Amino acid sequence: MNQLANFTKGFIKENPVFVLLLGMCPALGVTTSAINGLGMGLATTFVLVMSNLVVSLVKNFIPDKVRIPSFIVIIASFVTIVELVMQAYLPALFEQLGLFIPLIVVNCIVLGRAEAFASKNTLLSSIIDGLGMGLGFAFALMLLGGVREILGSGAIFGLKFLQGDGMLVFVLAPGAFIALGYLIALINRLKKTA
């Protein structure tokens, strides 16, 4: 049951975007569509799981003085893997996400989970925590991207279902702030009634 709680807290109780308000740069920058949000979320999930796994394995071998730089090197290694694989096999998505992929290295969600959780817990717990927080982040980005895509262009995942152009503001940067604000308000409202 404790492992299930570790997994689900990233979706509900401690969602990185809607509750903890972490990772706002990619949340606002890449969510012009649901597919971009999902792609960024899955890339971050991979980095979270793998860095938590490695940090959990080597935590006893890293001196306290170089703990954070060591974690950043571990994270950067997995971000490089994601970047190269995405560039080779998903070039269209890689072009859309652009600079935001290398910025996963400094995403406070990834480093925060390595420092606060993986460096203090078992291998299995660290993997489950990374998976839960990563998928919660992916869900938040996909939801935000989906809302923006529906309102901005009348489509989702590239499938057009409304005639007309939609409200252009939601495709632009101000639309990210507006949609995120309303989603946070809705989630806070649902949490109070639950």
Asked if the structure places residue 156 within a domain, the reply is: no
**Each residue's pLDDT tens digit in the chain (194 positions)?**
577 777 888 887 888 999 888 888 888 999 999 999 999 999 999 999 999 999 999 999 999 999 999 999 999 999 999 999 999 999 999 999 988 999 999 888 999 999 999 999 999 999 999 999 999 999 999 999 999 999 998 889 878 888 877 888 998 889 999 999 999 999 888 888 86
CB atoms within 10 A of CB 159: 8
CB atoms within 10 A of CB 63: 7
Which pTM value belongs to this model? 0.92
Asked if the structure places residue 112 within a domain, the reply is: yes
Inter-helix orientation angle 67-89/34-58, to 10°? 140
Domain count, the chain: 1
Please report how many Cα atoms fall inside a 13 Å half-sphere around the Cα of residue 75, on the Cβ side.
27
Asked if the structure places residue 166 within a domain, the reply is: no
Expressed as residue numbers, the domain containing 34 is 2-148
Asked if the structure places residue 129 within a domain, the reply is: yes
Asked if the structure places residue 177 within a domain, the reply is: no
Asked if the structure places residue 62 within a domain, the reply is: yes
